[in-house]
Amino acid sequence: MVISVIAINAIFPHRPDLVFGALIFTAPGGIATPFAFNMTYLPQFLTFNNVVPLTSLRIETQEDGVLHDWVALSIAAINGFMTLGAQAANIVNLRVASGHIKNKNVTISGVTSAAGAIGFYAYSDTIGNKMFKTTNAQILALNPTTFENFTAIWVPAMAAVTDTAEILYTKGHRQTYNINDLQAMTPLYQEVPAIMVNNINAYIHQAIFTCAAAHPAYVMSVAVNS
């Protein structure tokens, strides 16, 4: 099922465990076609071409279980997190760890939506010790929903001008943002526009979302086993 292509790898003599921009798998594509491949490490970033959008994508390890279980909407929302600079067209860049984590039995699987090969690349610019985990949550209509201990939260369906995110910072500051505020802050963290709250620096104690309608929320946090 693997289609051979030419890839350029950069291997650094002083860091032989780091391989940058390595092609690790090519999914052949197809309507509702599943794919899966294995790795012996968890990369900092997973990148793939999205000319053929994925219906779903899952990352799990034998040691830690499921870390990420994305659907098309969450892939689009999380794409480019903490990646500054314009991304090439149809490229998805997903952060999955704080850096290269070796000695992990990793399985990456998913389902494609149409014909066309999809090349998956993995790269890291540092050694890592923390794995990220993504969970799916639900914000109830007209019912304040509180999140704690998160790295980032995406709520791409927030739409009403009255939808808000009230943020309580660790030093006691409290700020309420609407969707326009959250979108305006996006360029501080990533080039791909998003409605999200970023807590990668761990200075947020709580985020309280209040929305006129029920919305899915995609929550990234540091995996417990990290």
Nearest Cα to Cα of residue 133 among 226, 62, 205: 226
Q: How would residue 17 be classed by pLDDT, with cut points 50, 70 and 90?
A: very low
Nearest Cα to Cα of residue 197 among 158, 142, 143: 158
Task: Confirm if 113 and 55 have CB atoms less than 8 A apart.
Answer: yes
Q: Which domain range does residue 81 map to? A: 10-130
Q: What is the pLDDT of residue 21?
A: 61
145 and 121: one domain? no
Task: Give every strand in the sheet of 132-139, ordered side by side.
Answer: 132-139, 215-222, 152-154, 196-198
Query: Does residue 5 belong to any structural domain of this protein?
Result: no
What is the helix, strand, coil percentage profile of the chain, to 5?
10, 55, 40
From the number of C-beta atoms within 10 Å of its C-beta (0-12, 13-18, 19+), residue 60 rates as middle
Mapped onto helix, strand or coil, the DSSP state of residue 186 is helix
User: pLDDT (tens digit, 9 = 90+) per residue, 55-105?
Assistant: 999 999 999 999 999 999 999 999 989 887 777 878 899 999 999 999 999
40 and 125: one domain? yes
Which span out of 9-18, 29-38, 187-196 was modeled with the highest average pLDDT? 29-38
10-32 average pLDDT score: 64
111 and 213: one domain? no
Q: How many residues does the chain have?
A: 226
Domain containing residue 70: CATH number: 2.60.120.730
Q: What angle do CA 204, 211, 75 make, to 5 degrees?
A: 70
Domain total for the chain? 2
Domain containing residue 207: CATH number: 2.60.120
Q: How would residue 226 be classed by pLDDT, with cut points 50, 70 and 90?
A: low
Which span out of 13-22, 77-86, 162-171, 190-199 was modeled with the highest average pLDDT? 162-171
50 and 28: one domain? yes
User: Quick one: DSSP state of residue 185?
Assistant: H
> Which residues are registered as beta bridge partners of 27?
118
- Which token pair is 56? 């779903």
22 and 89: one domain? yes
Q: What is the pLDDT of residue 66?
A: 96
82 and 146: one domain? no
20 and 52: one domain? yes
Query: For a pLDDT cut of 70, what percent of the chain falls above it?
Result: 90
Query: Does residue 70 belong to any structural domain of this protein?
Result: yes
